[in-house]
Copies of this chain bind each other. A is one copy, B any other.
Amino acid sequence: MLGYLGPEGSYSHICAKKIAEVFALSPLIPYKTISEIYKALEQKEINFGLLPVENSLGGSVPETLDNLLFAPQSLQVRLEWVLMIEHCLIGFDLNINEIRAHFQAFAQCDNYLNKYYANANKKEMSSNSSAALSLLNEKENKAAICSKEAAELYKIPIIAEKINDFTENFTRFWLAGWENLPPKNNNQNLISLAFRIPQDLPGGLVRVLGPIAERGINLSKIESRPTKSRLCEYSFYIDLINSSKADQELLKELQSLCSYFKFLGNYPVWPLNDLRFLGN
């Protein structure tokens, strides 16, 4: 039972299918929002939920982070999958006067669209999948931006591939669940932590990062987020690489320096083996 952010043909769906194939998970169940996936997980309607956590161009997905912060402790990240995002232009008619897509896809293909379709009307849709689907009923003079997989799913001709301006466009997905997946290979692991530090403690962040650096552990991400309930309170999210050096002793030491501390997971990263290096 693997929940993902629908509809069919979304990048979440593509990622869910890849994970389901490797780990023999089924069925795949689409949800409308990230919060609905968390509710289904907490009520144990599904074993695993796939959650977009960060896009290289669009930034973090706060809904995923904030929900996980308040989830039960044993609901943890069990896997990360890094999906390369490649947009296609699709349609039945090469004479195009309107292009449909999610606004983020327009932003990510800005140079391409300005070069080849500067005069086409841009119609914002709620998702690229719904943009693609809408072409089935309006074939003349219309095109859409979506994944190759969605084009194939809906049997719509591909006009151009890889039209995104930056080829390094990837999304990190987290598979959250109540239990670990069976180990499959020697992919590197990340450890994700969330914490708050006591207010009015100058240098508090350096104190927390110090013991991590001393052990030669690098960060692959750090981010501060305002806590929803209070304007002046922030939570930090960090991802550690070289996770084998992060033992219980370190975690206890970090916890003692924080006013709030949550272990989000220790999980393998697929399919890349060359982890992003942040330099700590």
Contact = CB atoms under 8 A, between A and B. Distances in A.
Contact of A58 (B62, B110, B229, B232): B62
- Which bucket holds chain A's interface residue count? 35 or more
A223 B60 CA distance: 10
A276 interface: yes
Interface string A152-180: 00000000000000101010000000000
A234 B59 CA distance: 12
A23 interface: no
Contact of A279 (B59, B204, B280): B204
A206 B213 contact: yes
A59 B55 CA distance: 13
A228 B166 contact: yes
A37 B60 CA distance: 23
Give how many copies assemble into the complex: 2
A196 B209 CA distance: 17
Contacts of A79: none
Contact of A226 (B197, B198, B219, B276): B276
A239 to B, nearest CB: 9
Interface in A42-69: 56-63
Interface in A101-147: 103, 107, 110, 124, 126
A280 B206 CA distance: 7
14 contacts: A35-B110, A57-B62, A59-B59, A60-B60, A170-B231, A197-B279, A199-B277, A205-B278, A205-B279, A206-B210, A221-B224, A222-B222, A232-B276, A232-B277
Give the 4 A-B residue pairs with the shortest CB-CB distance, closest first: A203-B213, A124-B126, A204-B279, A59-B62
